[in-house]
Structure formats: structure tokens, C-alpha cells
């Protein structure tokens, strides 16, 4: 049988109307401030008989005393695990297990969190545990010892994953080991922490006027849940919070290379450049620019280093925002025998994106990817309302979330080129490498002056 000569594949595809621009209009929920200063975001969601709460406490690892790095984390993780003045840790564990509920407390570099998930029918019981953990932790001796031992074991094993160690140590050397952005816990700093320190830390930071709480779920009305929250937190007195002074970031403006010798099958490479401060509007075009450069499998770094040259399985770039200057990171894991090829190509791609405007279709593809992933960050009302609370916590404008899609959509090839020229300066980057130099195809000195460091 003879097929018609003119039968292009495109002719078989159905004609589709052009897609309209995404109309992203997320619900706002309600925002209430209690008499003691606690900010509460609320959004009713009767999809499932569940209620979720997240509290953002204004503190973080960067607030630790220099001689007691780890204090914030010890305190945060023991709020519930260390028992409370009303409930022992054993009582809490048994009750939560029986009810199938969860109360979890944690801390990051710039925020502490307390999360709660519970069936609607058990709200009163679990909310009381949650409130007690936030307001009246006991820091039981036995639990403190367990947590301290865990922290010390994590220090002992922190170099087991050289890929993670490379990023951690790169950031540490980028900011300096003496700056809070570059701190890490040490055996001496963890052993120096006492229960009295944890109680003092809690008394200073865990105050209602230092908390933003997000709540969503199957409550009859916002007013009903507010009554319960006021019952649990209303008597919690507001007070002054004393924050440490974080010194300004000082970043060297010249290329330098750091190397840790390690007998490893791979070489792990991190390149860090000076980034942006949080709330800088350049984040919108920078987000698109980074997506094109190293944001996914279709990015330039992945296409060249992974797909075309086959030098690496993992390669990417991203940028981190901070109150002071953040960083722009490039990462690749490759064979030590080809490390210079992978690193050279990474540097080349950071330079190449500055030389000419990108094709419209590449910018459009990057914008669409960012917008789609952003919109799908909020599959439930709880994710949405907790994100609104988080944006307030970090000082964003109240309409930041609502306008994010529109602001990203403004990025065109000219904006990408201008942003890349302004932000990408690989000649001033810190290059951090962990790997076996005996296998390197070229000496590291070809990329800049080298500082040899020891794994510790």
C-alpha cells in the first residue's frame, strides 16, 4: 500500500486554540491579630475532617551565640520531644500515636516552626499539647541527653556525603566561618549548651508577638477556631524580644579556589557568586535567568554538561536570598578525571548567557516552567495560607503572592541579558572542590589561587 506523499506529522495534530494567559487569583483567607500580638492567618477548608496549624517563630540558627552554636536547634526540637510542664514526653507520644495526630517542631537558618496536624474530632486534645509545647516546654533531662547525643553523632558523620559536605563547606568559606551565615555546629558548642540556656532562649524568642500562625481545615468558622486559639494562647503575655546583631556580609571580590583532598570516585564542585538581598525586585528576572541556566534537565548546564558531553549526572544552579547578600550557586558532581572539563563548561555557560539575548522561545519556556511550578505549590488551602504567613514573616509585600506570576511574566530576553550581566561574575567566584587530586586531569591552580583545607 502506498502512502500519500504529503503527510507531515504536524498535519495529523488537531488544531488547538491559543492558550490564554494564566489568571492566578488565589484566595486571601483572613488575617487577625490577637490582643497579645500573635498574628493568625485562617482559611476554612471542609474537604477533609482535618485541621493543620503552622507557627513561624521569628528566630533561627543565625541567632545562636557564637560559643553555643546549635542552641536554637536543641531548643526547637525539644519543645515537644522534651515534654512540657503539663504533659510528660511519654504522655505526649502516647496521645499523639493513639490519635494519629502529629506535633513537630524545628528550626532553619532564619525561622523556627511548630506544625500540627489533627483530625477535627481530636482538635481540643491536640491543640492543648501544641500550645503547651510552644508556651511551656520542660526540657526533660533524659531527652536533652538523647538530643545532644544525636547532634554529636551528626557532627561525627557530617562528611559521609561529600556532595552535601561540598555545598556546606563552600557556603562556610564563602561567608567565613566566623559569620552566622557560615556557622556549623561543633562538638564544643553543642556540649556547652545547658538546659538553662534552652529555657532562656525559649523565654526570649517564643513570645506571641514574635509568632505568625497559619491555620486551615475543617472548622465551622474562623470565629470558632479563633475562640479556641484565644483559649490556648490568649493568656500568653507579649514581651520584648532581644535579637543579636548580625554583622554585615563581606565577600571577597576575586576568584579563589578551595580544595579538600578526599579519596572519592567523584569530584564535587560548587561555584558561589555574590547574590541578592531578599526583597530585591531583581529576583523575578533572576529566577527566569537561573531557570534557563541550571534550573532543570532542559537548562543549559544540564544540556551541555550532562546530556551532550556526558560529564555528570547531577548539575544545576540556584540562588539563595538572605537579609544580607545571598549567593548564586552552581553545582556539579563528575569524575575526577574530567573535573576540569565540567568546571570549565560551567564557567563558560555562566559567561555565555551574558553575551547575547536568549531566543524568545527559551525565555518563554523558562517563564512557563516557573509559573506552573509556582501555582502548583498550593494544592491545598493549608499550603496557600501558610505561604501567605511565610511571606509576611519574611517581610514581603502583602500582595507578593498575588502578583508573583505577573511579575515573572514581565521578564523578556532583554531583562535576562541585563540580569545576567549584572549578577554573573564567575571571575570573582569561590570555587570549592572535594575530590582526589591525584586523578585530576588538570591542576586546580588553572582556575585560581588554591587553598588546601582538611576535612573536619
The verdict on residue 15 lying in a domain is no
The verdict on residue 73 lying in a domain is yes
Judge if 264 and 368 occupy the same domain: yes
Judge if 278 and 197 occupy the same domain: no
Distance CA 12, CA 347 (A): 43
**pLDDT confidence bin for 376, thresholds 50/70/90:** confident
3-state helix, strand, coil in the chain (%, to 5): 45, 20, 35
Distance CA 394, CA 298 (A): 31
* Residue 199 domain boundaries: 30-233
The verdict on residue 247 lying in a domain is no
The verdict on residue 249 lying in a domain is no
The verdict on residue 1 lying in a domain is no
Neighbours of 355 (CB within 10 A): 9
Q: Which of the listed residues 185, 200, 233 is the one where a domain comes to its end?
A: 233
Judge if 297 and 220 occupy the same domain: no
For the stretch 312-362, pLDDT in tens is 999 999 999 999 999 999 999 999 999 999 999 999 999 999 999 999 999
Judge if 130 and 194 occupy the same domain: yes
The verdict on residue 251 lying in a domain is no
Strands of the sheet with 450-453, listed across from one edge: 312-320, 327-334, 267-274, 430-435, 256-261, 450-453
What are the E-state strand segments in 326-418?
327-334
Count up the domains in the chain and report the number.
2
Judge if 322 and 429 occupy the same domain: yes
The verdict on residue 141 lying in a domain is yes
Residue 16, pLDDT above cutoff 60: no
Judge if 265 and 402 occupy the same domain: yes
Q: Are 366 and 288 in contact (CB under 8 A)?
A: yes
Distance CA 413, CA 285 (A): 9
CATH code, 174: 3.30.830.10
Judge if 290 and 365 occupy the same domain: yes
Judge if 149 and 210 occupy the same domain: yes
Helix (H) or strand (E) holding 313: strand 312-320
Q: Give the CA diameter of the chain.
A: 88
What are the grid coordinates assigned to 98, written together? 493513639
Nearest CA among 321, 305, 290 for reference residue 424:
290
Judge if 38 and 102 occupy the same domain: yes
Judge if 225 and 262 occupy the same domain: no
Q: Are 169 and 158 in contact (CB under 8 A)?
A: no
For the stretch 119-171, pLDDT in tens is 999 999 999 999 999 999 999 999 999 999 999 999 999 999 999 999 999 99
What are the grid coordinates assigned to 36, written together? 497579645
Judge if 268 and 228 occupy the same domain: no
The whole model's pTM is what? 0.91
Neighbours of 151 (CB within 10 A): 20
For the stretch 84-96, pLDDT in tens is 999 999 999 999 9
Q: Taking each helix axis from N to C terminus, what angle separates 141-156 and 71-81, rounded to the nearest 10 degrees?
A: 130
The verdict on residue 240 lying in a domain is no
Judge if 192 and 77 occupy the same domain: yes
Amino acid at each position: 500500500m502506498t502512502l500519500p506523499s504529503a503527510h507531515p506529522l504536524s498535519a495529523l495534530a488537531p488544531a488547538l486554540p491559543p492558550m490564554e494567559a494564566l489568571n492566578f487569583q488565589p484566595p486571601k483567607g483572613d488575617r487577625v491579630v490577637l490582643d497579645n500580638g500573635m498574628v493568625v492567618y485562617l482559611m476554612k477548608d471542609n474537604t477533609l475532617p482535618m485541621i493543620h496549624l503552622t507557627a513561624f517563630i521569628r528566630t533561627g540558627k543565625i541567632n545562636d551565640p557564637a560559643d553555643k552554636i546549635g542552641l536554637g536547634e536543641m531548643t526547637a526540637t525539644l519543645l515537644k520531644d522534651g515534654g512540657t510542664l503539663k504533659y510528660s514526653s511519654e504522655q505526649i507520644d502516647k496521645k499523639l500515636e493513639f490519635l494519629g495526630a502529629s506535633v513537630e517542631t524545628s528550626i532553619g537558618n532564619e525561622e523556627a516552626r511548630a506544625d500540627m496536624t489533627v483530625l477535627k474530632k481530636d482538635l481540643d486534645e491536640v491543640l492543648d499539647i501544641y500550645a503547651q509545647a510552644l508556651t511551656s516546654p520542660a526540657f526533660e533531662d533524659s531527652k536533652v541527653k538523647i538530643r545532644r547525643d544525636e547532634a554529636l553523632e551528626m557532627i561525627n558523620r557530617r562528611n559521609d556525603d561529600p556532595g552535601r559536605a561540598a555545598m556546606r563547606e563552600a557556603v562556610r568559606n564563602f561567608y567565613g566561618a566566623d559569620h552566622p551565615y557560615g556557622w556549623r555546629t561543633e562538638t564544643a558548642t553543642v556540649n556547652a549548651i545547658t538546659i538553662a540556656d534552652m529555657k532562656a532562649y525559649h523565654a526570649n524568642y517564643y513570645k506571641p508577638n514574635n509568632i505568625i500562625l497559619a491555620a486551615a481545615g475543617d472548622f465551622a468558622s474562623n470565629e470558632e477556631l479563633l475562640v479556641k486559639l484565644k483559649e490556648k494562647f490568649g493568656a500568653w503575655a507579649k514581651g520584648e524580644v532581644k535579637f543579636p546583631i548580625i554583622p554585615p556580609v563581606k565577600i571577597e571580590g576575586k576568584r579563589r579556589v578551595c580544595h579538600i583532598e578526599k579519596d572519592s570516585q567523584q569530584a564535587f564542585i560548587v561555584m558561589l557568586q555574590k547574590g541578592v538581598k531578599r526583597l530585591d525586585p531583581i529576583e523575578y528576572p533572576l529566577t527566569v535567568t537561573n531557570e534557563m541556566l541550571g534550573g532543570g534537565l532542559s537548562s543549559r548546564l544540564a544540556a551541555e554538561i550532562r546530556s551532550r558531553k556526558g560529564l555528570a549526572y547531577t548539575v544545576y544552579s540556584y540562588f539563595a536570598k538572605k537579609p544580607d547578600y545571598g549567593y548564586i550557586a552552581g553545582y556539579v558532581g563528575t569524575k575526577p578525571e574530567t573535573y576540569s572539563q565540567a568546571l570549565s563548561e560551567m564557567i563558560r555557560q555562566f559567561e555565555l548567557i551574558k553575551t547575547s539575548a536568549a531566543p524568545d522561545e527559551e525565555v518563554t519556556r523558562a517563564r512557563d516552567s516557573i509559573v506552573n511550578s509556582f501555582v502548583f505549590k498550593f494544592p491545598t488551602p493549608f499550603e496557600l495560607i501558610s505561604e501567605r504567613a511565610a511571606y509576611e514573616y519574611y517581610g514581603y509585600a502583602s500582595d507578593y503572592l498575588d502578583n508573583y506570576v505577573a511579575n515573572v511574566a514581565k521578564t523578556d530576553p532583554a531583562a535576562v541579558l541585563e540580569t545576567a550581566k549584572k549578577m554573573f561574575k564567575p571571575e570573582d567566584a569561590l570555587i570549592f572542590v572535594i575530590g582526589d587530586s591525584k586523578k585530576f586531569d588538570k591542576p586546580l591552580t588553572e582556575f585560581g589561587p588554591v587553598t588546601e583545607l582538611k576535612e573536619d
